[in-house]
Structure 1
Amino acid sequence: MRCIRCGHRRGGRRFMRFLHVIEGPDSKAAFALPDLEPQLIGRSTEALPITDPSVSRRHAEMTPDGKNWFIRDLESTNGTLVNDEAIEGRTLLQPGDRIKCGSSVFLFDRTPDDRIPIHTMEIDPTGIRIIHRHGDDDTDHGRGRQRDQLRHVIAGTELAMSDSDQREYLEACLDLILAATGGRSAVVIVNATSGSKADLMLARHADSASLAPIDLNRTLAEVVRQEGTSIVAESPSTSNASNQRCVGAPLRSREQTRGVVVVSLDETSAQTNQLDLELLHVLAGQAGMALEQRLLVNQVLVNSRLAAMGETVAAISHGIKNILQGLRGGTDAVAMALQRDDLEMAGRGWNVLARNLDRIQSLTMNMLGFVRNRAFDIERVNLAELTTEAKELLVAQTSRADVQLEIELPEDLPPVPLDASAMLQALLNLLSNAIDASTAGGVVTLRASYDFEKDLFFIDIEDSGGGIDPQVRERLFEPFVTSKGQRGTGLGLVVSRRILEQHDGALECHESNASGTVMRMTLPGNPTERDPADTDSPDPLDGELGVEFGEPEH
């Protein structure tokens, strides 16, 4: 007999709680919740390191109180939901509760290793006395019992159609099986094969408070897996002198056995009849189909991500190819000019090189902004200095396009809370687009204002072009959608909008009073402030990767 440890605690030690991300950009991440350390959910530097832009900077706070954990919403934009219900005030959390913040869903639970111990026993098959096989004759068909079984089958169907993840579903399925069979405990083994380690083993007691070890008859599980049918059997028990009666059923789907569930019956329960065996067989079959469905969903997600990756590579490769062609043309012109000692031709070739170097730098910065998120360093910044720096970096582009760039800022404009390097990238993207859209001899105007009542900053960038086609406008903020043809990659506006949203702001497109377009940036004047109860978060389990936005070089 060998013992598989699943986190059983002795001596009254407490379980450490974990916060598992089961939906959202950080799916499959997990954060430890140490005792006596309040935790902040959000995107600020002191919060748990999540990257969901729909989560507020300070979204919700989790605080321990003795053996319990509580959560409260911090007046977030989208609110905080526990089990799909919006919370108001301090709310007690229970293991298994689902917490939704923005588009992210967290599961409040123990560490995946804090599970009930399972003792597996290798028993000589001759020591198992088989009592029933699925399909054996039985005469007990009481109508009341049939109604109860139908109710359990309906509950199993509803559970199989839920959107829970695999572990959460299997735990709920074990609870249902124990209620349906009157069993004392149950163990499910997923993808178990003879002589190999199971992919997943979960155990449940009918008494949810019990953490006593469970005896698993591994031989019975193997017989059920090989025969693909449900079996009732008796075998020796390690906990007492009497034999233990167990029921095993396969988790089957499309003629494949994806796992086995073994239920230990109460010694005082009535004799297991054919209907009980059929019920377990049906519930286990539903579980097999549910596991198959979740596997297929995961495969679809992987395939869709690969397809999106292919689209990304194709679009970026096309942009890089055009840039390389420009670089090749510029170098050929410079080489020819050097041979002919023609400085005028060399100057034209150099301008081609400079333009394409600017394009590849812009593409690289936007690619980084598109695929990576980082925690911003928000500080009060003088907008006049930031916009002046952006204007200086765009001197060459405005000169080539014969476009004038004007900046109109009120003298009493207060400092703006923002991340300077990230906002500089957004400004360069939007101003560059406006310059490209404007006709020769035109003007691009940057205006800023502050609404004291709403406590909002507005930054408008207006071009003097012919406007944006309505069909393009509808998809303007989608990746790889551009109105520049081969000169654009369709990432600049996507990255700029993401930067604004990570500042709790917004980026919108409007028509100007003339024929051009106005891109409006909105920024909060007073981002969510810390209160004295704030605490710094612990280090993430696996570390956090981030990308620092560098300043473009022209």
Structure 2
Amino acid sequence: MLMREWGSPELERFVEALIDQSLEASLGSLVKGIVHNFNGTLQVLSMKLELLQTMLRKEGIPPSSSTWTKTEECLAQLDRLQKMVEMLSQKASVEETEEMVPIRLNELLEEELSFLNHDLFFKHQVELQTSFASTLPPLKGRPLEIRLGLGNLIRNGIEAMEGSSVKKLTVATESRDHDLWVTIEDTGCGITKEIEPSLFTPFFTTKGGRHKGLGLFIARKVLTPYGASFHYRSGGGTTVFSVRLSL
């Protein structure tokens, strides 16, 4: 029923709302919650360690003791974590901006792959290989949109390998003909001729279960304003998705 009425304004508005929700739930909003909770934990740990040092002084434990050394090491690590949290908070603020800013594509992809490590299937079962061009010109855009679009393509490749005996994901970048290219290769279930016409159709999925069939649709929707074109081939146990982004 949904597919027969895809042209209706109501359904189009519904899908637009889903995209907005995906943007809001992306890095910026997530990091805000993480930073808030993590900061509280760091402050408690820091106070406990400083209290321990006060007790050590009262007990006359010399600063050269192993206990003092360990507390200093812990405080140093907490300081390092605090700086990392501040960096994430600043990045979240930058990414929520509506302004077009220069984006370092390699760094964005590295961060996205790092964040995906919360997915235990990806972290423990998928072999990851990256091949990033050593020098890429910056892409001007909104980081949250680029992250959402490319992140959906990467997750699509990961999800396609859930039932595969070989699980390898390759993410590559290059600059070609004044354009940027991102290529994502997986060893998943592949794309058959029968499903090709429906690949970018909202709510279409062959995976079932928790998969809603919006990943590729959203990727194309948010990346098309950047002059994106999508190319894919499937066969021989691999599927390769390439996205061209205009500079």
> How much does 1:424 deviate?
0.8
- Give the AA of the match of 1:443: K
1:403 aligns with 2:126: yes
Q: 1:436 to 1:304 in 2, by over 3 A?
A: closer
SS of residue paired to 2:99: coil
Paired position in structure 2 for 1:423: 146
> How much does 1:368 deviate?
8.3
> More strand per residue: 1 or 2?
1
Paired position in structure 2 for 1:103: none
1:445 aligns with 2:170: yes
1:480 aligns with 2:203: yes
Q: Which of 228, 233, 237 is matched with 1:515 structurally?
A: 237
> How much does 1:363 deviate?
10
- Give the AA of the match of 1:495: I
Q: Deviations over 1:459-517 (max 9, x none)?
A: 111111131232222111111111211231111111110111111222333226x3221
Q: Structure 1 unaligned runs (5+)? A: 1-300, 317-361, 370-374, 526-554
1:35-74 equivalences in 2 (<5 Å): none
Question: What is the distance in 1 between the residues matched to 2:232 and 2:149?
Answer: 14
Q: Which of 469, 493, 497 is matched with 2:192 structurally?
A: 469
Q: Does the 8 A contact of 1:401 with 1:440 survive in 2?
A: no
Q: Does the 8 A contact of 1:363 with 1:489 survive in 2?
A: no
Q: Does the 8 A contact of 1:391 with 1:405 survive in 2?
A: no
1:498 aligns with 2:221: yes
- Give the AA of the match of 1:523: L
SS of residue paired to 2:218: helix
Question: What is the distance in 2 between the residues matched to 1:365 and 1:310?
Answer: 14
1:365 aligns with 2:22: yes
Question: What is the distance in 1 between the residues matched to 2:23 and 2:203?
Answer: 11
- Give the AA of the match of 1:517: T
Question: What is the distance in 2 between the residues matched to 1:515 and 1:441?
Answer: 9
Paired position in structure 1 for 2:156: 433
Q: Does the 8 A contact of 2:126 with 2:169 survive in 1?
A: yes
Paired position in structure 1 for 2:136: 413
- Give the AA of the match of 2:170: T
- Give the AA of the match of 2:246: P
> More helix per residue: 1 or 2?
2
Q: Structure 2 unaligned runs (5+)? A: 27-96
Q: 1:419 to 1:310 in 2, by over 3 A?
A: closer
Paired position in structure 1 for 2:100: 378
Question: What is the distance in 2 between the residues matched to 1:441 and 1:505?
Answer: 30
Question: What is the distance in 1 between the residues matched to 2:178 and 2:246?
Answer: 6
Question: What is the distance in 1 between the residues matched to 2:14 and 2:243?
Answer: 29
Q: Does the 8 A contact of 1:482 with 1:488 survive in 2?
A: yes
Q: Does the 8 A contact of 2:169 with 2:185 survive in 1?
A: yes
RMSD in angstroms over aligned alpha carbons? 3.4
Q: 1:481 to 1:427 in 2, by over 3 A?
A: same
- Give the AA of the match of 2:168: V
- Give the AA of the match of 1:395: N
Report the identity percentage: 25
- Give the AA of the match of 1:388: E
1:109-258 equivalences in 2 (<5 Å): none
Q: 1:496 to 1:411 in 2, by over 3 A?
A: same
Q: Deviations over 1:296-326 (max 9, x none)?
A: xxxxx9x9445x37997xxx9xxxxxxxxxx
Question: What is the distance in 2 between the residues matched to 1:500 and 1:420?
Answer: 11
Question: What is the distance in 2 between the residues matched to 1:310 and 1:505?
Answer: 22
- Give the AA of the match of 1:446: V
Q: 1:310 to 1:416 in 2, by over 3 A?
A: closer
Question: What is the distance in 2 between the residues matched to 1:363 and 1:379?
Answer: 20
Q: 1:410 to 1:471 in 2, by over 3 A?
A: same
- Give the AA of the match of 2:140: P
Who wins on radius of gyration, i.e. which is larger?
1
Q: 1:401 to 1:476 in 2, by over 3 A?
A: farther
- Give the AA of the match of 1:494: F
Q: 1:474 to 1:411 in 2, by over 3 A?
A: same
SS of residue paired to 2:203: coil
Q: Does the 8 A contact of 1:378 with 1:418 survive in 2?
A: yes
